[in-house]
Amino acid sequence: MMRKIFIGWMMLISFSAFSQTDAKMKSFVDALMKKMTLDEKIGQLNLLTPGGGIATGAVVNSDVESKIKTGSVGAMFGTIGVDNIRRVQQLNMSNSRLKIPLFFGSDVIHGYKTTFPIPLALSCSWDMNMIQKTARTAAIEASADGLSWTFSPMVDIARDPRWGRVAEGAGEDPYLGSQIAKAMVIGYQGNLKDSTNLLACVKHFALYGAAEGGRDYNTTDMSKVKMYEYYLPPYKAAVDAGVASAMTSFNEIDGIPATGNKWLLTDLLRKQWGFKGFVVTDYTAINEMIHHGSGDLKQVSAMALRAGTDMDMVGEGFLTTLKQSLKEGKITLQMIDDACRRILEAKYKLGLFNNPYRYIDSVRAAKEVLSADKRQVSRDAAVRSVVLLKNENQTLPLKMNGTIALIGPLANNKSNMVGTWAVSGDSKYSVPVLEGIKNAVGSSANILYAKGANITDDADLAKMANVFGEKVDIDPLSPDQLLQQAVETAAKADVIVAVVGEASEMSGEAASRSDISLPSNQTRLLEALKQTGKPLVVVLMSGRPLTIAKESQLATSLLQAWFLGHETGNAIADVLFGNYNPSGKLTMSFPRSVGQIPVYYNYKNTGRPQDPGKKDKFRSNYLDIDNSPLYPFGYGLSYTNFNYSNISLSDTVTSANKTIRATVTVTNSGNYDGEEVVQLYVWDEVASVTQPVKKLKGFQKIFLKKGESKQVTFNITNEELRFFNSDLKWVSEPGRFTIYIGGSSDASNKASFILK
Q: What residues are labeled active site? A: 282
User: CA–CA separation, 516 vs 392, rounded Å?
Assistant: 25
- Total residues contacting ligand NOJ by CB under 6 A comes to 7
On whether the CB atoms of residues 700 and 638 are closer than 8 A, the answer is: no
Q: How far is the CB of 75 from ligand NOJ (least distance, A)?
A: 12
Q: How far is the CB of 484 from ligand NOJ (least distance, A)?
A: 43
Cis peptide before 204 (omega within 30 of 0): yes
Give one DSSP letter per residue of 643-696, joined into a string.
EEPPPEES-SEE-TT--EEEEEEEEE-SSS-EEEEEEEEEEE-S-SS---S-EE
216 binds ligand NOJ (CB under 6 A): no
Q: How far is the CB of 106 from ligand NOJ (least distance, A)?
A: 8
Cis peptide before 609 (omega within 30 of 0): no
Interface pick for ligand NOJ out of 203, 341, 379, 544 (rule CB under 6 A): 203
Chain CA centroid to CA 227, Å = 19
Which is nearer to ligand NOJ, 286 or 434 (by Cβ)?
A: 286
Which is nearer to ligand NOJ, 192 or 201 (by Cβ)?
A: 201
231 binds ligand NOJ (CB under 6 A): no
Q: How far is the CB of 46 from ligand NOJ (least distance, A)?
A: 15
Q: How far is the CB of 85 from ligand NOJ (least distance, A)?
A: 17
Q: Is the dihedral of CA 597, 602, 606, 608 positive or negative?
A: positive
Interface pick for ligand NOJ out of 116, 149, 151, 714 (rule CB under 6 A): 151
Which is nearer to ligand NOJ, 108 or 388 (by Cβ)?
A: 108
Interface pick for ligand NOJ out of 26, 28, 56, 466 (rule CB under 6 A): 56
Which is nearer to ligand NOJ, 40 or 509 (by Cβ)?
A: 509
Interface pick for ligand NOJ out of 509, 567, 675, 684 (rule CB under 6 A): 509
Q: How far is the CB of 687 from ligand NOJ (least distance, A)?
A: 36
Fill in the per-residue mask, 11 to 50: x = in contact with ligand NOJ (CB under 6 A), - = not in contact. Answer: ----------------------------------------
User: Among 279, 259, 272, which residue's Cα sits nearest to residue 232?
Assistant: 272
Which is nearer to ligand NOJ, 249 or 521 (by Cβ)?
A: 249
Q: Which residues contact 122 (CB under 8 A, 6 or more apart)?
A: 110, 116, 130, 131, 134, 170, 180, 381, 385
- Residues 402-431 touching ligand NOJ, rule: CB under 6 A, are none
Which is nearer to ligand NOJ, 56 or 84 (by Cβ)?
A: 56
Q: How far is the CB of 107 from ligand NOJ (least distance, A)?
A: 5
Q: Which residues contact 360 (CB under 8 A, 6 or more apart)?
A: 82, 85, 86, 89, 146
User: Among 453, 458, 378, 464, which residue's Cα sits nearest to residue 417?
Assistant: 378
283 binds ligand NOJ (CB under 6 A): yes
Which is nearer to ligand NOJ, 126 or 151 (by Cβ)?
A: 151
* Degrees to nearest 5, angle at CA 628 with 625 and 634: 150
Which is nearer to ligand NOJ, 59 or 447 (by Cβ)?
A: 59
Task: Report how many helices (DSSP H) and strands (DSSP E) the chain contains, helices first.
Answer: 22, 27
On whether the CB atoms of residues 558 and 390 are closer than 8 A, the answer is: yes
The kind and range of the H/E element at 278 are strand 278-280
Q: How far is the CB of 283 from ligand NOJ (least distance, A)?
A: 4
282 binds ligand NOJ (CB under 6 A): yes
For β-strands 46-48 and 245-248, DSSP reports them as unpaired
107 binds ligand NOJ (CB under 6 A): yes
b/e per residue 164-202 (b: at least 16 CB within 10 A): bbbbbbbbbbbbbbbbbbbbbbbbbbbebeebbbbbbbb
Q: How far is the CB of 280 from ligand NOJ (least distance, A)?
A: 9
Q: How far is the CB of 591 from ligand NOJ (least distance, A)?
A: 25
User: CA–CA separation, 430 vs 571, rounded Å?
Assistant: 11
- Distances from the Cα of 619 to the Cα of 84, 115, 624, angstroms: 63, 47, 13
Provide the 3-class DSSP secondary structure of residue 285.
helix
Which is nearer to ligand NOJ, 56 or 717 (by Cβ)?
A: 56
For β-strands 557-560 and 387-391, DSSP reports them as antiparallel
Provide the 3-class DSSP secondary structure of residue 498.
strand
Which is nearer to ligand NOJ, 163 or 580 (by Cβ)?
A: 163
**Residue 716: beta bridge partners?**
660
320 binds ligand NOJ (CB under 6 A): no
Which is nearer to ligand NOJ, 423 or 461 (by Cβ)?
A: 423
The torsion defined by the Cα of 422, 424, 427 and 433, in degrees rounded to 10, comes to: -50
The torsion defined by the Cα of 419, 423, 426 and 431, in degrees rounded to 10, comes to: -20
Provide the 3-class DSSP secondary structure of residue 707.
coil
For β-strands 245-248 and 201-205, DSSP reports them as parallel
b/e per residue 554-573 (b: at least 16 CB within 10 A): bbbbbbbbbbbbbbbbbbbb
Within 13 Å and on the Cβ side, how many CA atoms surround 209?
29
156 binds ligand NOJ (CB under 6 A): no
Q: How far is the CB of 168 from ligand NOJ (least distance, A)?
A: 7
Binding site for ligand NOJ (CB under 6 A): 56, 107, 151, 203, 282-283, 509
